[in-house]
Chains A and B, each alone.
Chain A
Amino acid sequence: MLSSTAAPSGFRSRNLGDPRRHVDLVLAGAVGAVVVIGLLLVYSATRRFSDGNGFVLRQTMFAVVGAAGAAGLALVDYRRVADWWQALYAVGIVLLVGVLTPLGAVVNGTSGWYRFGPISLQPAEFAKLATILAIAAYLGSVDRVDLRRLAAALGLLALPVGLTLLQPDLGSALVFIVMGIGMLVVAGVQMKHLGVLVSLGIVAILVILNSGALDEYQTERLTSFVTPNGQSYNVDQAQKAIGSGGLTGYGLANGPQTRGGYVPEQQTDFIFTVVGEEFGFLGSSVLVVLLGVIIWRCWRAAQLAADALGTLICVGVMCMFLFHIFENVGMALGIMPVTGIPLPFVSYGGSSLLVSFLAVGLVQSVHMHRFS
């Protein structure tokens, strides 16, 4: 593995190891493009509201703050960040506990938000990042993942999963689980252990679905995509919007389903229906490809990472994004159950946008500091 001495100051460093020479411009470009598309879609989805411009303005503000945060984080060596994993993880857990107390606001029957005046924060989003760091730091420092370490890592994962389920926020809990499994696989968990884990998971899901622990509407949402006849109104309208977009769509702000407000939660969970209706197959493909580029660059950063810590951070972020994208787009397309998780960089929502930027910042840091 290459190592380098400290770089002299100066922007155009001659030092090949200088992190600033190794910014992943493709990743940055893809993120930038997706954010701009996202702003257009939020504009189209919210212009029928009385304070339509407010949505775009707030989202732009978060994007600017997020980009700055990502840039700042990228410049810091991810190893220094990972040194603080216990503290960050602890803060994440405290925030998740706090949101269950009366400090948290209840929105749509879920207590997943802190509310500060006009701005709401979703602690689960920040906890995702903290958990990635924690598991990566814990497993990256060992050569072999034995049963004891596996159990410890599962413990780190179980805590946020349990707390988000209490909100209840099934979508976020699933994100933690998928993220965790991805990181465990890459960290080298033994196949037999993984097999047992997956089997247990399947049994657990079946038990939960049949035990009545979930509200009826949750079960329905999770199973409705299997039986298209019982399709919910949301999914029905979402597919009408996307399907009628055809090859090129109706054009920005011209989608009849979008204009008429037929798709509920369109600026957040169902934002993909806007691109589907107004930009058609071509526009949707561009967006999905750009999102794919982000995944690909995370995957590549994981491959190129200087150490296991870097690899695992990138895998965690990649899995987080991958699940968000597949679940969110798949839900709009009717091939995934309806759970309320945002499309990274696109859905309206400050916490999600901010955390997505910070996550990319971490990946950039891994990429940039691979020679240091």
Chain B
Amino acid sequence: MDTNSTQVRLSAIGIVALCLFAALFVRLWFLQGIDRQRFEAASESNRLRVVHEEGPRGRILDRNGRIIVDNRTTIVVALDREPLRKLDESERQAIFADLADTLTGLGVPTKLGTVERRYADARYAPQEYVPVAEEVPEDVELYLAERAGRFPGVVVERRTVRSYPYGSVAAQLIGYVGEINEEELADVRGGSEDPAGEGQAPSTTTTAPGDGPLKEYQPGDSYGKGGIESAQEATLRAVPGRRTIEVNARGEVLGEIDRTEAVPGDDVWLSIDLDLQAHAERLLAAKIRSLRGRESGEGTLNAPQGSVVIIEPGTGQVLAMASYPAYNPTILVNGISSDLWEQLNDPNNGRPLFNWALQGTYAPGSTFKPVTALAGWRAGAIGPGNEEIVDGGTYTLEGCEGAGCTCQNAGRQKLGEVDFARSMTVSSDVYYYRLAELLWNDRVRLGDTPIQDAAGEFGLGSATGIDLPGESPGRMPTPENRRAAFEANPDVFLTGDWFTGDNVITSIGQGDVLVTPLQLAEVYATIATGGVRYRPQVISKVTRPVDPAEPPGEPGNYEVVRTITPEEVGRVEMPADFYLKLLAGLIGVTQDPDGTASGSWEASPTAWPMGGKTGTAQVAGKADSALFAGWGPVGAGVPPEYVVSVVIPEAGFGGDVAAPLAFRILAPASDGSLPAACPVAAAAQCRAAESQAAQASLDDVGSGGPG
């Protein structure tokens, strides 16, 4: 072995070693000196999870502070997908199968397919937990917590969901809460600061929605759908909290790094009186069930739906708004299956999700007559000296020949001598046929639309602006919009012209006239106040509890964030002599022996006399719609307290069906004997009250008058 050569070769190896070490140092410096921040950030996103915490929604209370919508805690099994993504497909499958089997075995039926779908659900952010099972009992939470190693990436969370102490009471009015969908998410993220813009009357919002703290949304968050939940989303929603936690490679939580608590949403007080609401719903349901299947001259009484609206006339506050059929919102707490969704929207079921009180539109029939009368009085067609006719049961249009030229009272009833007041009390159609013809014939002087103009002053033909979403504007036909509709769709309509006959049927609230039960109540509220029209309101105030542990409606335990004040939206000028005669006629409806609702009022009288009007609207091919609208108390110097409207389609005569129901609802309210609303917890006792109400409805007698 040549020593020199050995030294040379050794040196070469030494140089190689030096180079290798130099390479290590360069790389080390590159990672830790130059690129440090990038790796720090990468390491953080690795192990830190920002958990978004929605926080509890505000509660919904009735006018007396009773909780209609509350919150409760539910346990949810969810997936943290970050650690799961690192596993092999087969390992993941095994965990999912194990999880589905385990949950099912513990009494929480879970399909493997559901777990897999949720894992792949692209709507959730990568770091967001995705729920796989809700309403999990506490022992499952414990079981899974003890076996965290067996279920990497499976987390058990506690979430707050809605609870409904009174079950289905006011279901359509309050709406429900569901998972925010993609469209809504795009909406609330698209710069719109008021996620519930629609239905929120400008005047009711004293705090601009954009002023408060940012209420960010994440996929999977809850979102108000329909009713108050939707209209007051911005108020009810909590300011979300954030929790930064450190997790290890298996997804197990090592500790909490940072926490911002969620701020609960504000409580919303409704103007609704829970007792009156429950009472109205119970009686409405009993009435409809007792009607169904009965035969009438016009066909079978199907009574597919019905509504009752009760308003405080001096403020526009809604005291009750019942819509039948109802549903129990509890079934929607953990999401809606498509089956259930279809069921709730099926017309054959009466569309339980629909709030018929403001989404349903009906021909108002005779309840419309005060509007026509005002138009006629203003035109001078009726008035001092020329307000009396002889009602012979039929009316033939002037200069017209043929079968179509003669209109009749319902049942060809001959009502004899009829003045303006009596035309209301006994509901003479002939009186209004004549009036309508006079108005049309004098159209050069009066214009085409004196009736429609008066209707517009009462708010018909446009939405009332109630602080609830989805309201229908109804419809007021005019020669102008008749023509426009014809020109837009010539194939659909026979004609675009307006004839005397159109004026005639419009005058008694038939033909193309459509109103919502809410609008109808609004018309009679305006009459009750002598012409002052208020915007109907369901929300009375927004509060924040002082001590969250105490009941939110406890006096002294809340501070008021804002109060919603009554809002006058218009005045209807009614000449004094007209108004007095109108009142006399409408009071006669319940108080005069010939009044169309006098018999049923006697059967269940209110503590004070009422004014009102029955309506029986004919619908082609179906049984008549039964309507009643009225108010009480009436009398000189007595302020009106309640306005009621009752509408039940395919139900028969207004005087037989709608009026008795209205009196039965208001009678206990008038003398302070209103039965208390029945909480779900006490359902057994309430069944007795329900069957009692049903029995009473069956016994109701009508006065026989159809008008």
Residues of A within 8 A of B (CB): 48, 140, 142-144, 182, 185-188, 233, 237, 239-247, 256-257, 259-262, 276, 280-281, 284-285, 288, 292, 295-296, 299, 302-303, 308, 311, 315, 318-319, 322, 326, 329-330, 333-335
Bound CA–CA A174/B187 (angstroms): 61
Distance in Å from the Cβ of B244 to the closest Cβ of chain A?
Answer: 13
A262 touches B17 (CB 8 A): no
- Residue of chain B at shortest CB distance from A263: B249
The contact sample of 28 A-B pairs, CB cut-off 8 A, is A143-B2, A185-B9, A186-B13, A188-B2, A239-B31, A243-B36, A243-B43, A244-B36, A246-B36, A257-B46, A259-B254, A260-B249, A262-B249, A281-B28, A285-B28, A296-B17, A303-B7, A308-B1, A311-B6, A318-B13, A319-B13, A326-B24, A330-B24, A333-B27, A333-B31, A334-B27, A334-B31, A335-B23
B25 touches A288 (CB 8 A): yes
Residue B32 at the chain A interface, CB threshold 8 Å? yes
Highest count of chain A CB atoms <10 Å: which of B9, B17, B35, B36: B17
Beyond known contacts A187-B1, A244-B39: 13 more, CB 8 A cutoff: A186-B10, A233-B86, A243-B38, A244-B40, A246-B40, A247-B33, A256-B47, A257-B46, A259-B248, A260-B254, A288-B24, A330-B23, A330-B24
Residues of A near B24 (CB, < 8 A) are: 288, 326, 329-330, 333
- Residue of chain A at shortest CB distance from B38: A243
Highest count of chain A CB atoms <10 Å: which of B7, B31, B33, B248: B31
Residues of B near A322 (CB, < 8 A) are: 17, 20
Residue B250 at the chain A interface, CB threshold 8 Å? yes
A185 touches B13 (CB 8 A): yes
Distance in Å from the Cβ of A142 to the closest Cβ of chain B?
Answer: 8
Residues of B within 8 A of A (CB): 1-2, 5-7, 9-10, 12-14, 17, 20-21, 23-25, 27-29, 31-33, 35-36, 38-40, 42-44, 46-47, 86, 246-250, 254
A247 touches B32 (CB 8 A): yes
- Residue of chain B at shortest CB distance from A280: B32
B46 touches A262 (CB 8 A): yes
- Residue of chain A at shortest CB distance from B45: A240
A299 touches B1 (CB 8 A): no
Distance in Å from the Cβ of B645 to the closest Cβ of chain A?
Answer: 65
B20 touches A260 (CB 8 A): no
Residues of B near A241 (CB, < 8 A) are: 43
Residues of B near A245 (CB, < 8 A) are: 32, 36
Return the contact of A237 from the options B12, B46, B254 (Cβ within 8 A): B46
Residues of B near A144 (CB, < 8 A) are: 1
State the majority secondary structure of interface residues on B.
helix
Residues of A near B33 (CB, < 8 A) are: 246-247, 281
Highest count of chain A CB atoms <10 Å: which of B20, B28, B46, B86: B28
Return the contact of A318 from the options B2, B9, B12, B17 (Cβ within 8 A): B17
Closest 9 CB pairs of A and B: A243-B39, A260-B248, A244-B43, A281-B32, A244-B40, A240-B43, A308-B1, A243-B31, A333-B27
A188 touches B1 (CB 8 A): yes
Given A188-B6, A299-B10, A257:B23 Cβ within 8 A: no
Residues of B near A302 (CB, < 8 A) are: 10
- Residue of chain B at shortest CB distance from A281: B32
- Residue of chain B at shortest CB distance from A330: B24
Distance in Å from the Cβ of B471 to the closest Cβ of chain A?
Answer: 55
Distance in Å from the Cβ of B23 to the closest Cβ of chain A?
Answer: 7
B43 touches A257 (CB 8 A): yes
B40 touches A243 (CB 8 A): yes
Given A260-B246, A292-B21, A303-B7, A143:B1 Cβ within 8 A: yes
Residues of A near B32 (CB, < 8 A) are: 242-243, 245-247, 276, 280-281, 284
Residues of B near A330 (CB, < 8 A) are: 23-24, 27
B248 touches A48 (CB 8 A): yes
State the majority secondary structure of interface residues on A.
helix
Bound CA–CA A106/B658 (angstroms): 86
Bound CA–CA A326/B247 (angstroms): 32
- Residue of chain A at shortest CB distance from B41: A244
Bound CA–CA A110/B405 (angstroms): 103
A299 touches B40 (CB 8 A): no
Distance in Å from the Cβ of A89 to the closest Cβ of chain B?
Answer: 21
Given A259-B254, A260-B47, A260-B249, A186:B9 Cβ within 8 A: yes
Residues of A near B40 (CB, < 8 A) are: 243-244, 246
A186 touches B250 (CB 8 A): no
Residues of B near A281 (CB, < 8 A) are: 28-29, 32-33
Residues of A near B25 (CB, < 8 A) are: 285, 288
Residues of B near A315 (CB, < 8 A) are: 10, 13
- Residue of chain B at shortest CB distance from A329: B24
Return the contact of A299 from the options B6, B14, B44 (Cβ within 8 A): B14
Bound CA–CA A322/B18 (angstroms): 10
- Residue of chain A at shortest CB distance from B5: A188
Bound CA–CA A247/B28 (angstroms): 10
Given A256-B47, A284-B28, A186:B6 Cβ within 8 A: yes
Bound CA–CA A242/B40 (angstroms): 9
Distance in Å from the Cβ of B256 to the closest Cβ of chain A?
Answer: 14
Return the contact of A242 from the options B6, B23, B39 (Cβ within 8 A): B39
- Residue of chain B at shortest CB distance from A283: B32
- Residue of chain A at shortest CB distance from B20: A326
Residues of B near A288 (CB, < 8 A) are: 21, 24-25, 28
Bound CA–CA A315/B9 (angstroms): 11
Residues of A near B9 (CB, < 8 A) are: 185-186, 188
Distance in Å from the Cβ of B82 to the closest Cβ of chain A?
Answer: 11
Residues of A near B36 (CB, < 8 A) are: 243-247
Distance in Å from the Cβ of B296 to the closest Cβ of chain A?
Answer: 76
- Residue of chain A at shortest CB distance from B28: A284
B39 touches A240 (CB 8 A): yes
Residues of B near A246 (CB, < 8 A) are: 32-33, 36, 40
B6 touches A260 (CB 8 A): no
B46 touches A303 (CB 8 A): no
Given A143-B1, A243-B36, A257:B47 Cβ within 8 A: yes
Return the contact of B17 from the options A237, A247, A256, A295 (Cβ within 8 A): A295
Residues of A near B5 (CB, < 8 A) are: 188
B249 touches A261 (CB 8 A): yes
Bound CA–CA A315/B86 (angstroms): 43
Distance in Å from the Cβ of B29 to the closest Cβ of chain A?
Answer: 7
- Residue of chain B at shortest CB distance from A282: B32
Bound CA–CA A365/B337 (angstroms): 80
Residues of A near B31 (CB, < 8 A) are: 239, 242-243, 276, 333-334
Highest count of chain B CB atoms <10 Å: which of A187, A240, A335: A240
- Residue of chain A at shortest CB distance from B40: A244
Distance in Å from the Cβ of B479 to the closest Cβ of chain A?
Answer: 74
Distance in Å from the Cβ of A92 to the closest Cβ of chain B?
Answer: 24
Bound CA–CA A77/B6 (angstroms): 22
- Residue of chain B at shortest CB distance from A276: B32
Distance in Å from the Cβ of A192 to the closest Cβ of chain B?
Answer: 15
